Every structure is written in C-alpha cells, then in structure tokens.
C-alpha cells in the first residue's frame, strides 16, 4: 500500500493565487509603476530631473504635472519592488473597504495634497527668518512611497487597533506608527526624501480628521461611475473590481501587520 503523499503548491502557483486575489485598482497601479520602470530601463531613460517633484520648478514654471509623474516613476529596481510589495497588501485592504472607484479617487487626492504640503513646507523652511534651509526647494524626489505613507495613516485609523508591529520586532502605539516608520527609514535607508514621506503623513492625518471632506464626492458620484453598464460588466466579471456597495460587506482584518519596505530614489 503506497503512502499518502501531500504536496505543497509551488511558488508560481502561490504567486498566481496571491496576484489573482489583488483587486483591480491595486493591481493596475502596480502594473503601471512596474511597466514605467521597465520602459525607462529598456530605453535608457534616466532624466529624472524632468519628471521628479522639484519644488523650485513647480513654483517658478508652474509644472503641476510633476505632482503625478513623480509618483509613478522609480529610480531603481529595489525602489519600485519595495514600494509595490508594500503597496499591494495595503491597497488591497483599503480597496476592499472603500471600493475600487473610491480608492482611485483617494490616491489621486493624496498625490495632489502630498505635493501641495511638500511645496508649502519646502518654501516655509527655505524662507523662514531664523535659519535658511534652501536645499529642500531643489530636492528632486520620485516614488510612490509618499502616497503609501498617507495610506498607512488612513489604514491604521480605519483598523481601530491600539498597537502596530514594526517589522515584527516590537509594538508601538498605533497613533505613533507612521512617525516611527518615518524616523526608521531616515536611518535605515540612504537617499530618502524626509519631506516626501512627511508630506504623506500630513495628508493622511488631514484625511482621517475630515479636513478633506469638502474635496470628496458624495456616494452618488461613485455609484454613477460604478453604474456604467459597460464598465461594470467588463470589470466585475474579472472578480477584481470592488463595488462601493459591496466593499462595506468585506470584513476588515485589523490584525494584519504590513511589512513595510519603502524608500525614495
């Protein structure tokens, strides 16, 4: 009699299962960021000064496009890899709570407000009467991690947990979680934009305290987009598009600890 043989799923199978469970907007943003990096690598594009968030260029030439190009571009393979590995579980959690359309609008809002906070703080520090710190207005920063820091604050607030684990090493009060990460990454990673991450935290707290409520559309806006028959029939069949009316039925796994690996190029 032959013994029962129990086999475990291979790495490729597990990756497919993990990716197939990732909602539409989260997977879409991940693919876009990865594709942009790959295209830049193939064509040899490295003129990041043209697309990064550069406060002096935004102020002097009104280059508002930098608000968004700076978010989608990354400076290295590790940069895009670490950011997306962090974003996927975080985005998946929020997309299942908020719905796909609402999360997409939220990320657009966060990219915009992060850039505005970045701009304001950089020039306030530069032109303060006590001590000038002029390098911040000429600091060129790229990467999705500013938005990720905003989402960390929002997810932590929605989870309602009292403590969060930092890399599985120790627990900190949830209200200090984002600030602890901000400090740790300044020490652990080189060439990191402190102001980029700080702006993300400020936007996250502004959202959780309701300061952006007047900028957020009502439920009818999201429902009208979700009600587009062609959009829903195509996306919902993919079993990845999360409708806002269904997202509130998904239980929130508040105990999840995200292993955060975030850096700016």
HEC sequence for 205-217: HHHHCCCCHHHCC
- Is 132 designated active site? no
Residue with tokens 């607030």: 157
Which of these is catalytic: 145, 193, 203, 247?
A: 145
Which of these is catalytic: 118, 197, 199, 247?
A: 197
> Distance between CA 122 and CA 137 in Å, rounded?
5
Q: Tell me the Cα Rg of the chain.
A: 20
> Distance between CA 67 and CA 253 in Å, rounded?
32
CA angle 218, 24, 161 (to 5 degrees): 70
Q: What are the CA-CA distances from residue 21 to residues 26, 88, 92, 137, 238 (Å)?
A: 10, 10, 8, 41, 11
Q: Which are the contacts of 79, defined by CB distance < 8 A and separation ≥ 6?
A: 143, 263, 264, 265
Residue with tokens 């602890």: 180
- Is 224 designated active site? no
Q: Which residues are catalytic?
A: 145, 197
């Amino acid at each position: 009699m032959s013994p029962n043989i129990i086999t475990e799923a291979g790495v490729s199978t597990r990756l497919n299962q993990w990716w197939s469970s990732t909602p539409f907007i989260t997977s879409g943003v991940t693919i876009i960021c990865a594709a942009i990096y790959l295209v830049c690598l193939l064509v040899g594009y490295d003129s990041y000064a043209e697309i990064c968030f550069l406060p002096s260029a935004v102020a002097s030439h009104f280059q508002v496009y930098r608000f968004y190009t700076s978010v989608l571009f990354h400076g290295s393979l590790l940069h895009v890899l670490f950011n997306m590995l962090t974003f996927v579980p975080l985005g998946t959690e929020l997309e299942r709570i908020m719905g796909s359309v609402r999360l997409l609008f939220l990320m657009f809002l966060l990219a915009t407000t992060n850039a505005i906070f970045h701009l304001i703080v950089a020039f306030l520090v530069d032109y303060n009467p006590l001590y000038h710190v002029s390098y911040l207005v000429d600091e060129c920063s790229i990467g999705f991690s500013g938005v990720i820091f905003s989402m960390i604050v929002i997810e932590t607030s929605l989870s309602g947990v009292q403590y969060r684990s930092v890399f599985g090493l120790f627990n900190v009060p949830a209200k200090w979680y984002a600030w602890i990460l901000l400090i740790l990454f300044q020490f652990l990673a080189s060439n990191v934009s402190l102001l980029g991450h700080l702006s993300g935290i400020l936007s996250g707290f502004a959202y959780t305290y309701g300061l952006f409520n007047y900028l957020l559309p009502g439920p009818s806006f999201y429902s009208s987009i979700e009600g587009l028959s062609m959009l829903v029939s195509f996306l919902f069949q993919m079993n990845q598009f999360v409708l806002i009316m269904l997202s509130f039925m998904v239980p929130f796994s508040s105990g999840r600890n995200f292993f955060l690996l975030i850096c700016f190029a």
